[in-house]
Structure 1
Amino acid sequence: MNPPRRLEESFSFNRQTLEYIHHAAEQGLYEIRGLGAKRHLPTFDDLVFLTASASRYPLEGYREKCATKTVLGSRHAKQPVELEIPITIAGMSFGALSANSKESLGRAATEMGTSTTTGDGGMTPEERRASKVLVYQCLPSRYGFNPDDVRRADAIEIVIGQGAKPGGGGMLLGQKISPRVAQMRTLPEGIDQRSACRHPDWTGPDDLTIKILELR
């Protein structure tokens, strides 16, 4: 049995990170896999709302209510989106999530008075029926992008990049490409599907303006 490796001190990474790097190198672990985040992320317990710091102090607390209602598109939209809370469900693709999961997110968002988002891969009928407010994403890959679904959506979100992997596209492993997912994306079954990180039909702010007008 080989003696345990002595880890050198590092100002960049702690011992836990170094141990993971050595373990991944020895075992050949692949970075893209479904094990969740590898670092501590904020939770709802870390959110602090300092409402009094953003506006004047209420004169009489029992008369002035604190409202969380949020309106999107009040300046330019003919039909602004009204939400009961300023927290929404971000886009997660059909394929990465199952149809049942997408429907569950729609039901939860409706129950909480907020919106959910389609993500890559298009809109499922289950998701549309379950969601009172559904945001349709326009992504660089255009997988599953359907003009009819755009008209059925309550709002459109143009994706510029992904916070989880800025500057890089996404990838859906082939084991998740079921016949239904493949049909919606017009791609072969069982093959890894990569999503582009840039939109194919614009290169700058001027092109983005044209795309917004086109979608409207």
Structure 2
Amino acid sequence: MAGIRLKDIHKTYQVDGRTFPVLNGVDLEIPEGKITVILGQSGCGKTTLLRLTGGLESADSGEVLWDGAHKTAFVFQEPRLMPWLNVWNNIIFGLKKNQVDQEKIQDIVSTVNLSGFEKAYPSQLSGGMQQRAAIARALAYEPTFILMDEPFAALDYFTREQMQRELLRVQQKEHSSIMFVTHSIDEALILGDQIVMIEKGLVKHVYPVKAPSRERNLLDEEFIALKRDIIENLNFIN
């Protein structure tokens, strides 16, 4: 299977001379061209798993296996835009001059609905627009995988809902491979092609979601039943 395979991943942290286990033997397959949602409560190890997958940290033991050559891009909870750069220059930040295809960058700007704001600065944008600029910056890098760590958590309900729709639209257009961390069950159900439940550093359940994302209604019986199952498993774990 093309994508990423995590094999027996272990990770601990040392704090004040004490050892705290974070990941305790994670085995997981992350397919390409899909959105894999990592779902769990705060402190369960999901962000550490994302950082290890993207190479920002190293595991104590285990392997992260990629299918062929790869490039990763990150989108974090905060947009992390350069305040002294406008939208256009934030999007191309990190690219070499010979890598900047003006037409392609303009297409990316259009894809994330920021046309007309290329010369605006971060302080002139709403929170949702700043996150769209961060997603555009990730797309400009032409990654094989985008790793997203609760990128909509700080947004209000309506902006978050809008950004979820935007992400799905972009993913379907670009056929992006995405690993998306969240603690929101509803967000996982809206976005995920597969939902991976993490608890106490282990993969507890993997839920495939077959319904096309553009057709999902969380009030349908299928999704009510799936949400109930997830909640019951979380309650059981506790």
TM-score exceeds 0.5: no
Is the radius of gyration larger for structure 1 or structure 2? 1
Larger RCO, structure (CA 8 Å, separation 6 or more): 2
Q: TM-score, normalised by structure 2?
A: 0.28
Q: TM-score, normalised by structure 1?
A: 0.30
- The answer to which structure has the higher strand fraction is 2
- The answer to which structure has the higher helix fraction is 2
